[in-house]
Structure 1
Amino acid sequence: MAARLLPAVVNISTTQTVDAEHAPSVPNFPEGSPFRDFFDEFFDRHGGRPTPGPRQATSLGSGFIVDQSGYIVTNNHVIADADEVTVTLSDDTALKAEIVGRDTKTDIALLKVDSDTPLPAVGWGDSDASRVGDWVMAIGNPFGLGGSVTAGIISARARDIQAGPYDNFIQTDAAINRGNSGGPLFDMDGDVIGINTAIFSPSGGSIGIGFAVPANLAKQVIHDLKEYGRTRRGWLGVRIQSVTPEIAESLGLDSAHGALVASVTEGGPARDAGVIAGDVILSFNDRAIDEMRQLPRIVAETEVGSTVPVEVWRDGSKQTVEVKLGELEEAEESGLLASDPSQPGGPGGAAPESTGVQVLGLTIRSVTAELASEFDLPEDTTGVVITDVNADTDAARKGLRPGHVIVEVNQRPVSTPDEVRDALDAARDSGRSSVLVMVQRDGSMSFLALKLD
């Protein structure tokens, strides 16, 4: 298998011009300094002082051919900021490469070389079918040595190493070192199931913890880069957070799963479909959402413009809405993702309480112009503002502070302390041990489950 696959794996070298201001310089010591004498003697012995000006920096990595016409996959960080990219084939043929496109979110790049003859290529496998314990083989260019083969097993799947918004890495103990970046991870059928991207290593060398971008995530990225020169990801238009056991209990869910919608973007696909803050997304396009972090990846992989069913938990029951997906990149360019989340409304006009009302260790008051000025709240703030927090309470441990605003209780808008108190009483009467509150803090919305005792 190694003999068959090695010809499709390439070495990638890049050159980058470093400006003089970023290039290392020689210290300028005063006349008569022993350090000046030392450096003068050193440079005289090695051909003189270096001349100021731009310099060439080089780097090495790996890649693999996915199309006989010359398309090559590698990591974005291998070719980032490169002025020139050279691909060296297994027979030592060196070809200049063009950067077709790159994606920083998944650290994937697509290159193109021109060749007079068809190049050896490898095919994609199904990374979702791989199991922990399956044997795998990695081929790459560690430390610039050229095609090296290592083998191991899949140690874990769906690893989140905080490298990007779509982390879903395959972890392997096949030796991966510097220079292996961008190389393929093969299953025992000789199909690519991952792109070797990162290692965990205190020393810089392999200690048996390597990470590969799964093929099923990479394939769509590569298709978009080849077709459009950029990615085209699906966009739902929600900000989400995890469903904790307390939040699940407060909402009447039988277990902690799904993705809780903290806010909905004005003008986004979710808003148009009727998704509201407080909904828990249980499935998207008939794919179950067990953990919150699954949703962004599944949405991103879904075709832009397609209409898909989204199952949500709302008011104690399941509901399904149809959402027509937008494009994430267009939303970023238009500034929709940077806009303030919409504020849930509520009835107003009640007279403010002079001293406030105590609930759950919190002192709360209706929003007034004086309180809005004191806590620097937006003019259109609705809800009840927290003016004091008992330190020895669940609310304090959950991070609530004076100036935070309670906007909803159990998915119902509130604008007076009495409405908050009524909602808490209703939750107690229904046998709940915790209550779900939507809080506006630091310019954004989030949900918290607070204990009722």
Structure 2
Amino acid sequence: MVLILSQSLMAGAQGAPKSFADLADRISPSVVNITTSTTVAGRTGPQGIVPEGSPFEDFFREFQDRNGGGGDRPRRSSALGSGFVISEDGFVVTNNHVIDGADEIQVEFFEGFELPAELVGTDPNTDIALLKVSADVPLKFVNFGDSDTARVGDWVMAMGNPLGQGFSVSAGIVSARNRALSGTYDDYIQTDAAINRGNSGGPLFNMAGDVIGVNTAILSPNGGSIGIGFSMASNVVVRVVNQLKEFGETRRGWLGVRIQDVTDDVAEAMGLETVAGALVTDVPDGPAKDAGMEAGDVITSFDGREVEDTRGLVRQVGNTEVGKTVRVVVLREGATETLRVTLGRREEAEGTMPAAQDDPQAEEDPAELEILGMTLSPVTEAVREDLNLDDTVKGLVVVSVDEASEAFEKGLRENDVITEAGQSAVLSLGDLQDRIDDAEEAGRKSLLLLVRRGGDPRFVALSLGD
């Protein structure tokens, strides 16, 4: 009796619900099953069954035709998923991968009726799609909650159409927050509420009945639920949905820089007091360049918010209105500068390659030098032609790398091009030696190199030794 009582008191203290039934009754009418239909082109013959030209080819073609499997006829392929209604006039949220490529989309409601849906817009970056159905009566809907208030350990409930079994409910807790899977704008809530195939696009509810996530993915070795599911956070979804409603597409802010995280060795090489911010590796033509940003700047604040790392900055910029002028604080050569940047649109800039930096004309210097675990040589016209480098790329080419060196360990390889050292251009082997001497005189233990490979720049800090 004592044990039972203590367990009961503990459950009450933790806020465990006695039942999820009332909540399920209230929100079920707003959750929908989604069925898609897609036309798949048929094969022109019995390929894969008999070799082309075989005497049995006609026999198998006739056999397929008699059994309704004419290889050259288009086939209809269907898929199942979940979704939820967010307004009485029929807007429905689901996953992009549920409806991707669909010719027809049918939405089945909890009460048993079905309606055809039109696609309003999609965002592959967050795997969100917005649909619209037309009904004769106002539809029951659910509201989005604030996903930032969800805490690890909070109870949550998932609803959807797992494995095509129809409307189904599962419950669990928030297992983790701010998970990143593979996307630039990922912000997933991890939950142990059972999520299976067919749950994609369905809602994850808090105990107030508000949607705090859209069930999107599972981690599983066998395709079934093992208690590791991921829901895209509602605060990300709301911004996407609002833009899809207004524009039929997303419009994310674009700063126009390439960046990397500030690591311990990079911070030491640059003389930074804290390991935080986003290190600018390249500034192609765009908003940041127009505002005076430079490679080697460390972005510490964006639009009044501190920048912890590159992932945080990308999300901050993407969530900011296109055309807005923001204050960006950078560290440059030990001093703080504030730049005013008018953001462009990310979608318009996608696929734009950053321009190489313009450096002064390099002098011919055919000698090689073994230093910092590498054999280096100036970028000559012959090297430029051999490596197919742009005319504006100047610096030192890596001829070879000692596999036992720190340079090799940190990813430097043959044919990489070093364009800067100590945040200054290097056009000759003498320039690099000068940068090393300057760093040693300043008491630095490492030297920051800007390395380009295939046009992609990144900073690498190498120890200078004792």
TM-score relative to the length of structure 1: 0.91
1:110-144 Cα distance to aligned partner (Å, 9 max, x none): 00000111101111111112111111111111112
Aligned to 1:447: 459
Aligned to 2:337: 319
Instruction: Name the CA distance, whole Å, in 2 between partners of 1:22 and 1:400.
Output: 50
Compared CA separation, residues 12 and 23, structure 1 to 2 (3 A): farther
CA contact (8 A) 2:283 2:354 kept: no
Find out whether 1:199 has 2:218 as its counterpart.
Answer: yes
Aligned to 1:330: 348
Q: 1:20 deviation in Å?
A: 0.5
Aligned to 2:232: 213
Find out whether 1:3 has 2:17 as its counterpart.
Answer: no
Q: 1:23 deviation in Å?
A: 10
Helix, strand or coil at the partner of 1:407: strand
Q: 1:178 deviation in Å?
A: 0.7
1:71-118 Cα distance to aligned partner (Å, 9 max, x none): 000000100111100001111110010001111111100000001111
Instruction: Name the CA distance, whole Å, in 1 between partners of 2:402 and 2:137.
Output: 75
CA contact (8 A) 1:265 1:341 kept: yes
Aligned to 1:144: 164
Find out whether 1:21 has 2:43 as its counterpart.
Answer: yes
Aligned to 1:350: 363
Find out whether 1:223 has 2:245 as its counterpart.
Answer: no
Aligned to 2:427: 415
Helix, strand or coil at the partner of 2:326: strand
1:289-326 Cα distance to aligned partner (Å, 9 max, x none): 22221221211111111111112222123322111111
CA contact (8 A) 1:385 1:403 kept: yes
Q: 1:358 deviation in Å?
A: 3.1
Aligned to 2:6: none
CA contact (8 A) 1:137 1:187 kept: yes
Instruction: Give the counterpart letter for 2:353 in structure 1.
Output: S
Pick which of 56-65 and 422-431 moved more: 422-431
From 104, 107, 114, the equivalent of 1:87 is 107
Find out whether 1:339 has 2:353 as its counterpart.
Answer: yes
From 128, 134, 146, the equivalent of 1:114 is 134
Q: 1:436 deviation in Å?
A: 0.7
Compared CA separation, residues 32 and 246, structure 1 to 2 (3 A): closer
Helix, strand or coil at the partner of 1:338: coil
Instruction: Name the CA distance, whole Å, in 1 between partners of 2:354 and 2:328.
Output: 24
Identity %: 49
Aligned to 1:126: 146
Find out whether 1:158 has 2:171 as its counterpart.
Answer: no
Please list, as runs of the form range in 1=range in 2, the aligned pairs for 1:374-393 lying within 5 A after superposition: 374-393=386-405
Compared CA separation, residues 383 and 26, structure 1 to 2 (3 A): closer
Instruction: Give the counterpart letter for 1:256 in structure 2.
Output: V
Q: 1:365 deviation in Å?
A: 3.1
Q: 1:49 deviation in Å?
A: 5.3
Q: 1:375 deviation in Å?
A: 3.6
Compared CA separation, residues 190 and 215, structure 1 to 2 (3 A): same
From 74, 78, 81, the equivalent of 2:98 is 78
Instruction: Name the CA distance, whole Å, in 1 between partners of 2:289 and 2:310.
Output: 19
Find out whether 1:294 has 2:300 as its counterpart.
Answer: no
Q: 1:351 deviation in Å?
A: 4.6
Instruction: Give the counterpart letter for 1:204 in structure 2.
Output: G
Q: 1:32 deviation in Å?
A: 8.9
Find out whether 1:177 has 2:196 as its counterpart.
Answer: yes
Q: 1:439 deviation in Å?
A: 1.1
Pick which of 128-137 and 201-210 moved more: 128-137
Instruction: Name the CA distance, whole Å, in 2 between partners of 1:196 and 1:218.
Output: 11
Gaps of 5+ in 1: none
1:360-386 Cα distance to aligned partner (Å, 9 max, x none): 122333332233234433222212223
CA contact (8 A) 1:23 1:54 kept: no
Instruction: Name the CA distance, whole Å, in 1 between partners of 2:398 and 2:231.
Output: 46
Helix, strand or coil at the partner of 1:293: helix
Pick which of 306-315 and 391-400 moved more: 391-400
Instruction: Name the CA distance, whole Å, in 1 between partners of 2:453 and 2:289.
Output: 22
CA contact (8 A) 1:344 1:413 kept: no
Instruction: Name the CA distance, whole Å, in 2 between partners of 1:443 and 1:349.
Output: 19
Compared CA separation, residues 319 and 25, structure 1 to 2 (3 A): same
Pick which of 201-210 and 426-435 moved more: 426-435
Please list, as runs of the form range in 1=range in 2, the aligned pairs for 1:253-292 lying within 5 A after superposition: 253-266=272-285, 268-292=286-310
Instruction: Name the CA distance, whole Å, in 1 between partners of 2:195 and 2:204.
Output: 10
Aligned to 1:394: 406
